[in-house]
């Protein structure tokens, strides 16, 4: 019963977020990727939405500390085992696909505890004050650890939406 409730809640959240994104005036660009680990934890998908807001919203005065570059990284995890497992997200980087330059970065370690047979939808927000480089697509690169196994997964490249 608990698993079904979590599955329904997770499915509803994912459905709502996709509906919000679909109905949004931002028209986000999303890239997906999937990876399975040897420990039974499955990274079902990683998606990236990237945008840059160089234009100042009306009514606001220009400031140097205004965020310009924004990225939302969606990560869906599944524990295929019948035991608890923990996924440690060690870093999330948004990189230029052409140059490999890091555009946004979070090095704050995040622990995600997965119960047996649980699916977990996670969202990470990154911002910067300089925006993105003017050429090329970007991708999310996540470094994570499950047990003592450290791995990296990348999203599909996406165009940065400009505003």
What's phi and psi for 144, nearest 5 deg?
Answer: -140, 165
- Condensed to tens digits (0 to 9), the pLDDT of residues 21-33 reads 333 333 334 445 5
pLDDT over 60 (residue 14): no
- Whether the CA torsion 153, 156, 157, 161 is positive or negative: it is negative
Taking the C-alpha atoms of residue 155 and residue 141, their distance in angstroms, rounded to an integer, is 7
Q: pTM of the predicted model, to two decimals?
A: 0.75
Residue 68, pLDDT score: 93
pLDDT over 70 (residue 157): yes
- Condensed to tens digits (0 to 9), the pLDDT of residues 68-107 reads 999 999 999 999 999 999 999 999 999 999 999 999 999 8
């Amino acid at each position: 019963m608990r698993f079904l409730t979590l599955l329904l809640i997770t499915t509803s959240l994912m459905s709502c977020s996709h509906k919000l994104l679909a109905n949004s005036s931002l028209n986000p660009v999303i890239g997906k990727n999937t990876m399975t680990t040897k420990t039974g934890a499955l990274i079902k998908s990683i998606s990236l939405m990237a945008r840059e807001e160089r234009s100042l919203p009306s009514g606001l005065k220009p400031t140097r500390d205004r965020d310009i570059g924004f990225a939302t990284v969606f990560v869906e995890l599944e524990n295929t085992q019948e035991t608890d497992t923990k996924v440690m997200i060690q870093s999330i980087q948004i990189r230029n696909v052409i140059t490999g330059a890091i555009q946004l970065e979070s090095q704050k370690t995040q622990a995600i505890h997965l119960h047996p047979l649980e699916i977990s939808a996670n969202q990470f927000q990154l911002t910067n004050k300089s925006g993105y480089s003017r050429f090329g697509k970007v991708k999310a690169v996540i470094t994570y650890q499950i047990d003592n196994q450290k791995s990296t997964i990348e999203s599909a490249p996406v165009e940065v939406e400009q505003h």
